Amino acid sequence: MSVAPGLVAKPRRIPGDRGKPPLALVWSSFFGSGYFPVAPGTAGTVAAIPLWYALTYLPIWAYLCVAAAVTLTGMAAADRAGRYYGVADSGHIVIDEVAGYLVTMAFLPRDWFAALAGFVFFRICDVLKPPPARFFDKDPRFKNGAGVVLDDVFAGVWAWALTWAALLLKARLAGP
């Protein structure tokens, strides 16, 4: 396609590209928290705390179903949003933090200490990426929505164990 000098050619759509995916962008950014200008991943985790708190009033099976639904729909939304942004793990995509925080907080008591400890341990594990989280973050086969979310889910498993350890230590130090 030739264009006169000085004019910019509008790129053609790729086959299958349907333009801006509004629902995927809203969900993958967890209702816009991923657009926070500083530390959007931390903002996404903070935004997940009220969701976790609300879910603690459900039976555990319902909590786990919602966490699984967030994870699976988050994979699809992150994949579509990543293609829209042109990078698989854009900073605007924070649904992975929401899924990871829900994994971190599964089976934990509904109190401020658990919420804060889970938040801190999840953010640490999300940054450090202990195995197998690092695998899903680095492996080229997982540079898609599944890899974006799965690395945070496995970071959430580590954070879950650390949060339980902190709760047990707190209970032991408090004594009878």
Rounded Cα–Cα distance for residues 153 and 114 (Å): 18
What pLDDT sits at residue 134? 80
User: DSSP per residue over 86-124, as a string?
Assistant: TSTT-TT--HHHHHHHHHHTTT--SSHHHHHHHHHHHHH
What pLDDT sits at residue 57? 97
Reading phi first (left if > 0) and then psi (alpha if -120 to 50, else beta), residue 31 is in: left
Which pLDDT tens digits describe the chain residue by residue (176 residues)? 555 566 554 445 554 455 678 899 999 999 999 999 999 999 999 999 999 999 999 999 999 999 999 999 999 999 999 999 988 889 999 999 999 999 999 999 999 999 999 999 999 999 999 998 888 777 778 788 899 999 999 999 999 999 999 999 999 998 77
Q: Any idea what DSSP says for residue 6?
A: T
What pLDDT sits at residue 10? 47
Q: Quote the tokens at residue 18.
A: 């349907």
Report yes or no: 94 and 29 within 8 Å, Cβ to Cβ.
yes
What pLDDT sits at residue 18? 57
What pLDDT sits at residue 17? 56
The closest of 155, 98, 95 to 125, measured between CA atoms, is: 155
